[in-house]
Structure 1
Amino acid sequence: MLERFFLDTNVVVYLLADDPAKALRAEGLLAARPCISTQVVNEFINICTRKLGIDRAAAHASARSLMAHCEVVPVSATTLSEAMRLGERYGYSHWDCLILAAAQLAGCRVLYSEDMQHGQQLDSLRVHDPFR
């Protein structure tokens, strides 16, 4: 049985990538019904429309599909407080700490991210780069 895990935005965006190997890996992770936060959904829509040039309706449709395949957890005041604590302890950006906090508060043991140090243990959460 897979450990409960969380996907960072950078992994989710590979669902739309021109890189077939990375897209396939992202699809495999999505098939296991991971956790994501409302932040991940918002960042996904922003990247789709601003960086990838996808029109708003298509980006929203992709986001709805993403949400249907994931457990979506909210970013709350508790998440913000935990993110600040993590930022002070580990020095990651506030946005990365919001991801870390949401993952930890959702009870995830693994965070799949391409942006953080592979193998790093952050409290109860281990960072894993799925493309290594």
Structure 2
Amino acid sequence: MRIALDTNVLAYAEGVGDERRCRLAIDWIERLPTDGVVLPAQTLGELARVLIGKAKRSTDQTRLAVLDWADSYEVADSTWRAFQSALDLVVDHGLSMWDALVLAVTAENRCRVLLSEDLQHGFTWRGVTVVNPFLEPTPPLLQALVR
């Protein structure tokens, strides 16, 4: 099963945020099947913004971090088709444009799960289910992914 990671999961794995979420993000990422993880390119751009703006990392450190993520997992580019789908999500479901684009790219790349705390846990669209990996108890779908 293909799984996409949202920016917040990547940022926590980079140590930006509270200790519990940072630890959980690293733990989940280490337990996921590497060949099934997809990173929408949008999430890497957002990660760069977070690392520079919030974490105050240098641009050199940020570039290395983003490139390390891109070297480790498949990166899925945004397409015009994904933008069109994202616009529908904005209108039909009230999502922000950038969250909608991440979800649309996730669906376009045949992922079944998007790990994110920014979108509504359990929301399903075009076969993609949003799972918040930071909920307690651990969502059953996430438990099944790492077995």
Report if TM-score (shorter chain) is over 0.5: yes
User: Does 1:120 find its partner at 2:123?
Assistant: yes
Structure 1: 5+ residue stretches without partners? none
Q: Tell me the CA shift for residue 124 of structure 1.
A: 1.1
Counterparts of 2:129 and 2:58, CA distance in 1: 35
Partner of 2:9: 11
CA deviation vs aligned residue, 1:38-68 (integer Å, no higher than 9, x gap): 2111111111011100000010000010001
Partner of 1:22: 24
Q: Tell me the CA shift for residue 131 of structure 1.
A: 1.4
Which moved further from structure 2: 104-113 or 116-125?
116-125
The sequence identity of aligned pairs, in percent, is 28
Q: Tell me the CA shift for residue 25 of structure 1.
A: 2.5
| TM-score, length basis structure 2 | 0.81
- Mark the CA change 1:111 to 1:37 in structure 2 (over 3 Å): closer, same or farther: same
Give 2:80's match in structure 1, choosing from 66, 77, 102: 77
Q: How many residues are aligned here?
A: 130
| TM-score, length basis structure 1 | 0.90
Partner of 2:145: none
Structure 2: 5+ residue stretches without partners? 136-147
Q: Where in structure 2 are the equivalents of 1:11-90 lying within 5 Å?
A: 11-17=9-15, 19=19, 20-28=22-30, 32-33=34-35, 34-90=37-93
CA RMSD in angstroms, aligned pairs only: 1.7
Runs of 4+ deviating beyond 3 Å: none
